[in-house]
Amino acid sequence: MSMAAARESGLKGTHFLDFSGWTAHEMHAVLALANELKQKRAKGEPTPYLQGKTLAMLFDKASTRTRVSFEVGMYELGGHALFLSNQMTQVGRGEPLADTARVLSRYVQGIMVRTHAHANVEELARYSTVPVINGLTDDHHPVQVLADFMTILEHKGRLRGLTLCYVGDGNNMAHSLLQAAALVGMHIRIASPHGYEPRADIVQQARRRAMPAHSEVTVTEDPYAAAKGADVIYTDVFTSMGQEQEAEKRLLDFAGFQVNQELLGLADQDAIFMHCLPAHRGEEVTEEVLEGAQSVVFDQAENRLHAQKALLVALMSDHS
C-alpha cells in the first residue's frame, strides 16, 4: 500500500530542497513507505528498489548520521553511494556548481548535498537533470525532519493536532520544523532569545500554509510558556557548525533556554523529548533529560536511515 502511495505522490524525479513545495499527502506517503521499509529490514526482507542506481553525496560539512544513513540506505536498496568531499572534487578548486551538476547528472541517478549556503543547493538543482536532495544547509534540514515526524508518529500515533515546542536557536532545524508542522496540521511554538528568532519569511510562510484550527504558529522569547502542555519538546545545539567563534557569546545569550527537568515538566505528562544530535550535554539539554525515559533521540537517529531510504525510493526508484 505504501509503495503505491509513494508512486501516486508524484515525487519521482523531483528535487527535495525543503518542504515548501510538498503537500500533506506527499509527506504521509513517504512516512508510510519509511515505516514499511523499517518493518522489512527488521524481518530481513530484501528491498532492491534502487538496483543499479548511484547516489553522489557532496559534503562541505562534517557528518555522522547524514553520511552513514544515506550510504547504508543506498546499499540496502541495492544501489551505490559515492562520498565526495569538496577536497576530493574540482568544486574545491573553483569549478562552478552548475558544471558539477551537469557532469554528475550524466553519471548518477541522484545527488545529495550537505553544505553551507542554501543557494548552493538551489544552484545544483537548477542545472541537475537528476533529483537533488538537501542533506543540510544553513537554512534548512528537511531530511532530519522526515525522521523526526516518523518518530513522532511511532510514539504518538498521529501528527495533526499535536503541539511541538522547539527551544533554542531559530536555525535550519527551526525552519524545517516550521514548514513541516504547517504542512501536516501540527501546532508549533518556537522559543528563541531576542535576535535568534527564525527567519520572518519562513514564519509567515508557515502561517499562510497552516491548517485552520490545527496549525497555530507561535514565536516567543519565553521557553517556559512555549513548553506548557506541549506533546513534543525539541532542541538543538546553541552553536552550529561554522559559528564556533560565537560560542562564548551564544552561551550567555541562551541562558534560560536549556531543556532541563523543570522545563520538560511543564509539557504534557506523556511528552517526548527530541534532539537532532550531536548534543552538547549541559548546554542546550541536561544529561538527565537526554538520557531520561521521555527521550527518543536515538529512535530519531535510527529513523534517519528508514526515512531517507523512503525518500530515495520515492525520488529515484522505477518501482515508486
Q: What is the CATH number of the domain that holds 254?
A: 3.40.50.1370
Task: Report the alpha-carbon distance of residue 149 to residue 57 in Å, rounded.
Answer: 24
Among 162, 151, 187, CA closest to 296: 151
Annotated binding site: 63-66, 90, 114, 141-144, 172, 236, 240-241, 276-277, 304
Do 31 and 114 lie in one domain? The reply is: yes
Residue 86, pLDDT score: 77
Measured CA to CA, the distance from residue 146 to residue 196 in angstroms comes to: 24
pLDDT at 140 exceeding the cut of 90:
yes
DSSP, collapsed to helix, strand or coil, labels residue 154 as helix
The phi and psi torsions of 52 (rounded to 5 degrees) equal 80, 5
- In this structure, the answer to whether residues 183 and 122 fall within a common structural domain is no
- How far is the C-alpha of 196 from the C-alpha of 89, rounded, in Å? 35
Report, as an integer, the average pLDDT of 169-178.
Answer: 98
If you average pLDDT over residues 61-88, what whole number do you get?
A: 93
Q: How many Å apart are CA 37 and CA 49, to the nearest integer? A: 11
Co-location of 162 and 101 in the same domain: no
Q: Residues 149, 172: one domain?
A: yes
Residues 272, 284, single domain; the answer is yes
* Residue 157: how many other CB atoms lie within 10 Å: 8
Statement to judge: residues 107 and 160 lie in one domain? no
- For residue 238, the number of C-alpha atoms closer than 13 Å in the C-beta half-sphere is 24
pLDDT tens for 113-138 read 999 999 999 999 999 999 999 999 99
214 shares its domain with 81 = no
User: 227 lies in which domain range?
Assistant: 143-300
Maximal C-alpha separation, the chain: 54
Q: Which residues are annotated as a binding site for carbamoyl phosphate?
A: 63-66, 90, 114, 141-144, 276-277, 304
The number of domains in the chain is 2
Look over the chain and give the mean of its residue pLDDT values, rounded to a whole number: 94
Residues recognised as catalytic: 114, 141, 144, 236, 276, 304
CB under 8 Å to 285, separation ≥6 — which residues? 235, 258, 259, 260, 273, 275, 279
Task: Place 93 in a pLDDT band, splitting at 50, 70 and 90.
Answer: low
Per-residue pLDDT band for 183 (boundaries 50, 70, 90) equals very high
pTM of this structure: 0.95
Both 148 and 124 in a single domain? no
Is 135 found in the same domain as 4?
yes
Q: How far apart are CA 127 and CA 88, in angstroms?
A: 21
Residue reference for cell 552513514: 68
Cβ atoms 238, 251 nearer than 8 A: yes
Q: Which residues are annotated as a binding site for L-ornithine?
A: 172, 236, 240-241
